[in-house]
């Protein structure tokens, strides 16, 4: 049940990000839920491998390289799901930052 609530909140965060970041487009709420599900799977399967491979860069940048990893995962998700488009890598990094900020704020408000 908690996973489903988190998934719906992530979909809401993605929709808010689509309104804020130009070049970050999501078709509708159903697409946002699918993107949230794909991102959850990518975070579960691929993100640990990317974090280990880029650990020196992450340490050197004091963790800011995690935004690049999240941007890469967003781009992969945009390639897998129709109705979800990202204009470029800069847009993906900006969207990664916005998603992190909005997600953190919503977690603070909910808890």
Give the residue carrying structure tokens 């691929």.
46
Position 107 scores a pLDDT of 83
Domain range summary for the chain, segments of one domain joined by +: 2-110
pLDDT at 13 over 90: yes
Position 2 scores a pLDDT of 84
Position 38 scores a pLDDT of 96
- What whole-number distance in Å separates Cα of residue 104 and Cα of residue 83? 26
Band of residue 15 on the pLDDT scale cut at 50, 70, 90: very high
> What is the distance of C-alpha 20 from the center of its chain?
14
- Report residue 108: phi and psi, to 5°: -65, -45
Give the residue carrying structure tokens 């909005």.
102
Position 41 scores a pLDDT of 96
pLDDT at 111 over 80: no
Residues in the chain: 111
């Amino acid at each position: 049940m908690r996973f489903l609530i988190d998934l719906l909140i992530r979909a809401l965060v993605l929709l808010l990000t689509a309104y804020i970041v130009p070049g970050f487009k999501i078709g509708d709420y159903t697409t946002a839920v699918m993107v949230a599900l794909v991102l959850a799977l990518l975070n579960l399967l691929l993100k640990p491998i990317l974090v280990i491979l880029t650990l020196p860069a992450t340490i050197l940048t004091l963790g800011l390289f995690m935004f690049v990893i999240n941007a890469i995962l967003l781009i992969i998700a945009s390639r897998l799901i129709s109705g979800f488009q990202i204009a470029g890598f800069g847009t993906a990094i900006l969207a990664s930052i916005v998603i992190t900020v909005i997600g953190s704020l919503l977690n603070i408000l909910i808890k």
